[in-house]
Amino acid sequence: MTRRTPLYERHVAAGAQMVPFGGWDMPLRYGSQIDEHHAVRRRAGVFDVSHMTVVDVSGAGAADFLRRLLANDVARLAPGQALYSCMLNDSGGVIDDLIVYRRASRGGVAYRLVVNAATREKDLDWMQAVAGTFAAELRTREDLAMIAVQGPSACDLAGPLLPDAVTTAARELAPFSAIEVGNLFVARTGYTGEDGWEILLPADEAARLWDALLEAGVTPCGLGARDTLRLEAGMNLYGQDMDESVSPLVSALAWTIAWEPAGREFIGRAALDRERVTGPAARLTGLVLAERGVMRRDQRVVTRAGEGRITSGGFSPSMNCSIALARVPVAAAGECEVEIRDVLRPARLVRPPFVRHGRVLVT
């Protein structure tokens, strides 16, 4: 039995094609997936991301727990700030990626984690096991819904729909920061490469905000557009571009590892330290197909420095050609070939992101 978000009826009423995703019944698209994609790049789109798992962490040992659990360091966070991090296993493989927010004014130091839907049980088990040695309390927030409003006009269109006390502060938020007023949590984060907010609110208030956003002219967008947008933005997808068998160093995520202070023994550190000394065996980078056709996951990439594999591939509506993320030898650069249905097609290695804030960044 798949689970349903508080917005399930809204999706069905809007004619969404519903698909199973990570144990949830989620909208793939409402009409044209490509139109949904363009709506986010040019104006504003809204995504139901209530299937993601929200975990609040509190207690005297909360910070120590997260500094052990995460490769990035929550000691860097002032109240109201967020960071992106991997949660690693002992061999440096990625158990999941997540955003951790330091909550302001919650009596003591408290955090909020947002993790992927498909990895929910594994993540919670791991967190509980690690938390056992710290005075940290974990609470999953089944009572909350999460709505992402993204696009150049997202904040203009969504701002008037929030309480006055929230709107002004939310509009002034720097990227990767959040405010919390009562049970409304607004963060300037997202997964599309555009400006916007991720809004957490009580589940029974979600439909009202959703309706108001659509009324304001924001386009409802499904998982399909979410994937093409994040691929253009060069953002990793868990289970494709990284998983437990690879480290952040070969997943273009070295920037998310807080090596200092050297004494912080986060899980996976020893393995990463070793990998850093020997040098990573591969790197994750971008690909643009020179011809028509579509690159897909697991296709072979042939470069002058050796072979690699596509980890995420697809069609870029903004560039009107196929783009991909691929894990290739460290020395690989420039021209290459991708094997699509037994034929080698010319492609080019590029540095992601492909598109950001509505602009194509690779030619």
In the bound complex, what is the minimum distance in angstroms from residue 361's beta carbon to another protein? 21
Q: Supply 157's token pair.
A: 């269109």
Check if the beta carbon of residue 165 is closer than 8 Å to that of residue 107: no
For every residue of 179-193, DSSP letters joined together read EEETTEEEES--SSS
| Binder among 219, 228, 236, 312 for another protein (CB under 8 A) | 228
Rounded to whole angstroms, the Cα distance separating 333 from 285 reads 10
Task: Give me the residue label for tokens 């050609």.
Answer: 321
Rounded to whole angstroms, the Cα distance separating 350 from 362 reads 7
Rounded to whole angstroms, the Cα distance separating 126 from 105 reads 28
Q: Which is nearer to another protein, 41 or 112 (CB)?
A: 41
Check if the beta carbon of residue 345 is closer than 8 Å to that of residue 181: no
| Binder among 315, 318, 324, 326 for another protein (CB under 8 A) | 315
Under rule CB under 8 A, residue 34 binds another protein: yes
Q: Which is nearer to another protein, 61 or 224 (CB)?
A: 224
Closest CA to 16 of 28, 6, 24, 4: 28
| Total residue count of the chain as it appears in this document | 363
Q: Which is nearer to another protein, 273 or 291 (CB)?
A: 291
Give how many residues touch another protein by CB under 8 A: 16
Q: Supply 225's token pair.
A: 């557009």
> Taken in order 339, 342, 344, 347, is the CA torsion positive or negative?
negative
Q: Which is nearer to another protein, 296 or 348 (CB)?
A: 296
Under rule CB under 8 A, residue 293 binds another protein: yes
Under rule CB under 8 A, residue 27 binds another protein: no
Under rule CB under 8 A, residue 314 binds another protein: yes
| Binder among 32, 133, 168, 245 for another protein (CB under 8 A) | 32
Under rule CB under 8 A, residue 341 binds another protein: yes
Under rule CB under 8 A, residue 294 binds another protein: yes
| Binder among 10, 11, 29, 102 for another protein (CB under 8 A) | 29
The residue ranges that bind another protein (CB under 8 A) are: 28-29, 32-34, 224, 228, 292-294, 296, 314-315, 317, 322, 341
